[in-house]
Structures are given as structure tokens and as C-alpha cells.
Amino acid sequence: MSDDNGSRSAHLPTQLRLAVEADLPQIVAMGVRMGASTEYAKFIHDPLEVVQARFDARARQLLEEGRLYVVERGDDLLGMVGAIVGDHPLLGGKTCFEVMWWVEPHARKGRSGAALLMAIETMARAEHCVRIAMGSPNAEVTQLLQRVQFTPVEVTMVKTLDYRV
């Protein structure tokens, strides 16, 4: 039995767990695919190795200072979500801030995204957060988040400056 990727793991159960260092290569690969397939692609001008190193560094930071969850089926990671907890600068109160969230396209019709959302909501409740803040790269994700009681608050805009380090 094969899934949409041609994998033989489609018959295996899907599992949610905390990410470990050994997952980082697949998490970084997901991050690269996320960058290439969203509006971020218009703004990513660095070489692939630089983008990979930057994503790896942020994922490692989440392993140490936040939470990074993955959904897997067999040896295949289907998605990930990373979050940190801090005080919201405008609203106050402990807030769970999503830092990265991705579900592989072939896994989006299943429950992988919902499992990842539930993981950070469970984490946020355990940390006594009063809210969760999620980014939304498009209308489809916004609609998904609204179905589970998220409210749009702001839109992130990007402007490229001519300065380079």
C-alpha cells in the first residue's frame, strides 16, 4: 500500500511526538519546502545552504528553549510545529507563539495538522498560557484556524531593504 508520496508506510498509524535532534534533517527539508512554496519564496535570495543553516538553527533553538513536535508515519515526517512561550507585548499574559508550522501537501487532508495544533494547545494549557498566536500564510490556513476558534488579528507584511550584512 502506498500513500501519495509512493511510500509503503501508508498502512502504519500516524503518531505525534516531540522532535529529537535526529529529526532535524527532515525538519530542515520541510522548512525549505515551506519557503519555496509560500509567499516567502519571493524574498528568499540566499543560497540553499544558508537557508538550511538558518532553519536548522531555529529548530535547534526550539528543541532547547521551546517545543518542537512532529507527526510521523513510519519513518516519514508528515509535519511539524514549533512554539515558544512568552508574554505578549500588547495583550499581556503568557502566550504560546507559533514559530514554524508545516504539513506536507500529501498529508493535509488527514489529521496531521489538527494533531499538531492540538499539541501546541495542550502545551500552552500546561504552561498556563492565556492564548496561542499562530501565523497564517494564506486564506486556506486562515479558514482552518478560524474553524478552530482563532481570530485574525494582524497580517504580517514584508519589505525588502537594500542592506546586506
pLDDT one-digit tens code per residue, 41-57 = 888 989 999 999 999 99
The yes-or-no verdict on residue 9 having pLDDT over 90 is no
Of 92, 91, 88, 83, nearest in space to 122 by CA: 83
Estimate the crossing angle of helix 48-65 against helix 24-37, to 10 degrees: 120
Max CA-CA distance within the chain? 51
What would the pLDDT profile of 57-115 be if each residue is shown by its tens digit?
999 999 999 999 999 999 899 999 999 999 998 888 999 999 999 999 999 888 898 99
Residue 134 contacts residue 121 (beta carbons within 8 Å): no
Helix (H) or strand (E) holding 120: helix 112-126
pLDDT in the model for residue 3: 42
What would the pLDDT profile of 10-24 be if each residue is shown by its tens digit?
667 789 999 999 999
What domains lie within the chain, and their CATH numbers? Answer: 14-147 (3.40.630.30)
pLDDT in the model for residue 155: 80
**Residue 23 one-letter amino acid:** D
Of 149, 159, 12, nearest in space to 72 by CA: 12
Residue 87 contacts residue 95 (beta carbons within 8 Å): yes
pLDDT in the model for residue 5: 47
Q: If phi over 0 gives left and psi between -120 and 50 gives alpha, with beta otherwise, what is residue 128?
A: left
For residue 97, what is its C-alpha cell? 507563539
pLDDT in the model for residue 69: 97
